[in-house]
Amino acid sequence: MSVIRESFGFMPDKTEIFKYILENSSGTQAHILTLGATLQSFIIADKNGEMKDVLLGFDSVSDYLEKSNYQGATVGRYANRIGGASIDINGKNYSLTANEKNVTSLHSAGDFSYSPWKAVVPDADMVEMSYVSPDGEGGFPGEVSVKVIFRLTEDNKLSIKYSGVSTKDTYMNFTNHAYFNLNGYDSGDILSHYLKIDSSFITPVDELSIPLGGAMSVENTPFDFREFARIGERIASDHAQLKMTGGYDHNFCLPESEGELREIAQSYSEDSGIKMAVLTTLPGVQFYAGNFLAGAEGKNGKAMNKRTGFCLETQFYPDTPHQPDFPSCLFKAGEEYVSETVYAFSLQK
């Protein structure tokens, strides 16, 4: 295992951004930027021994600042959406940045994901990124100290461990927004990828993608991924929830975990033979099929067109501040948020 640090460029205020490359002895690499603790590349051998970069991303700081839809970014303070861009904590109302249609808050407006983070290398297989989110960022109360540890193993697992502590009671919901394409970021759409999600319910949404409340069974719907199915097989089905969001873009409720890491999803492509399992301690995962990707030029000038990447964003459910039945992510001042998500790569036999 080794960790190399390179310069990745500069922020408009001249802060230098670094790229950390974690590499194991089979040559698998994870590239992580100090800009938003962003996972920029994950490079692994396919079934023919050819190295493939399975993540959408960009080649420069300015592209991340100007063109990104959170590709590979660490997202907080609240990943996903909050209805009405407003929350109440301890009887006090807080207005959040309404960055979507001037009504809802999506990914808390992104300051967190597009700021420089600090990095240290505690060991030869990991990098630890940290960020102090100021009191009031995105409208949220409390100064939040966040740490994210990325660790690559010899057997091609990428573990991401999150922790956060706030100076005031506040909501915390962190995720990584990697867009995967298991044939390589430059190889077209992901519709032929197979996907399995260990989930019997989604949280259905309204036209602003805010949960309606309650859960919808996946039984007999295009949302049933309890057995492997191709992503493209039913994505154009005549189902009200798919029409609402223009393709898969939903929170899948995961089996109880009590904070334990368990496998919740798998995907593979027959073309590359690359397979990825997702493990997490969290209660939900947003399966987003890249419906809104609109051709921004990414790495090597390659256009990120609609559905050229898919996301499995592990998370607390969307809009929990307004849904008392959803698992809560309101943390007391000083109480620690912790979670772990693992992307485990192998070859499909």
Catalytic annotation, residues: 177, 313
Q: What is the dihedral of CA 240, 241, 247, 253, to 10 degrees?
A: -160
Pairing of the two strands 274-280 and 229-230? unpaired
Q: Structure tokens of 32?
A: 């992580």
Which residues are within 8 A (CB) of 231 and not within 5 positions of it... i.e. 6 or more apart? 190, 191, 192, 193, 194, 195, 248, 289, 307, 310
- CB nearer ligand BGC, residue 106 or residue 127: 106
- CB nearer ligand BGC, residue 148 or residue 289: 289
Question: For the chain, what is the total number of helices (H) and then of strands (E)?
Answer: 2, 29
Min dist. Cβ of residue 206 to ligand BGC (A): 13
**# of chain residues touching ligand BGC (CB under 6 A):** 11
**Over the Cα atoms of the chain, what is R_g?**
19
Candidates 90-98, 153-161, 178-186, 285-293; binding stretch for ligand BGC (CB under 6 A): 285-293
Instruction: Considering only residues 198 through 217, tell me which ones interact with ligand BGC, judged by CB under 6 A.
Output: 209
Of residues 292, 297, 334, 336, which one binds ligand BGC by CB under 6 A? Answer: 292
Of residues 38, 272, 286, 323, which one binds ligand BGC by CB under 6 A? Answer: 286
Instruction: Considering only residues 248 through 267, tell me which ones interact with ligand BGC, judged by CB under 6 A.
Output: 249
Evaluate the omega torsion of the peptide bond into residue 77 and state whether it is cis, within 30 degrees of 0.
yes
Of residues 128, 137, 189, 313, which one binds ligand BGC by CB under 6 A? Answer: 313
Q: Is 46 in the site for ligand BGC (CB under 6 A)?
A: no
Exposed/middle/buried for residue 291 (C-beta within 10 Å: 0-12, 13-18, 19+): middle
Site string for ligand BGC, 151-190 (x = CB under 6 A): ----------------------------------------
Q: 């090597």: which residue's tokens?
A: 300
Q: Please check whether residue 115 is in contact with residue 148, taking contact to mean a CB–CB distance below 8 angstroms.
A: no
- CB nearer ligand BGC, residue 309 or residue 321: 309
Candidates 32-40, 154-162, 267-275, 284-292; binding stretch for ligand BGC (CB under 6 A): 284-292
Q: Is 288 in the site for ligand BGC (CB under 6 A)?
A: yes
Q: Is 70 in the site for ligand BGC (CB under 6 A)?
A: yes
Exposed/middle/buried for residue 256 (C-beta within 10 Å: 0-12, 13-18, 19+): exposed
Q: Which residues bind ligand BGC (CB under 6 A)?
A: 69-70, 80, 106-107, 209, 249, 286, 288, 292, 313
